[in-house]
Amino acid sequence: MEDDIQTLREEVKAKVRNIPDFPKKGILFRDITPVLRDGALFRRVCDALASLIKNNGCTAVVGIESRGFLLAAPAAAMLEIPLGIIRKPGKLPWKTRRAVYSLEYGEDAIEIHEDAIAKGDRVALVDDVLATGGTMEAATRLVKELGGEVTVIAFLIELRALEGRKRLQGYNVNSLIEF
């Protein structure tokens, strides 16, 4: 099994495309679309994520806008457990809860439907990239506010130099690959 995961890590890392100066000069963007384009590889990524979620006894999955949806939705469907979504403000049509978080220069916010998580749910939070950790830290606050327990946090990619894991201390944080 560990050999399978290591092989998967190597294959995913080889497919991630580096795009310099996107979305602005000085940023090296890690593009996951080549992974998504490889149906067999994407399926194996989803299988690994579903296995992680199942092994941690999660009863719900929450994906973070927008690429986190691409990973969270198939895993939730495979496990036949509820899927919740977290979006930028003003994008969800029903009653929401909001969490504000700090950016390098200013603030941002995310929202979730008030009924996305049931009290006592064991939640897997899923996103594509762990950078500074601000969005995911805010997401953990939303889950707790709604009565859920963050059981596992999963990322496809972790950008180690940005030290986002530090903001998520005390949580079970997993990333498939690191740069």
107 is annotated as an active-site residue? no
Residue 151 CA, distance from chain mean position: 13
4 by Cβ neighbours in 10 Å (0-12 / 13-18 / 19+) ranks as exposed
Question: Is-above-0.85 flag for pTM?
Answer: yes
Structure tokens at 53: 């979620």
104 is annotated as an active-site residue? yes
Note the CATH number of domain 2-178: 3.40.50.2020
| Boundaries of every domain in the chain | 2-178
139 by Cβ neighbours in 10 Å (0-12 / 13-18 / 19+) ranks as buried
pLDDT in tens, 146-164: 999 999 999 999 999 999 9
pLDDT in tens, 86-115: 999 999 999 999 999 987 778 999 999 999
Catalytic position from the list 2, 80, 104, 107: 104
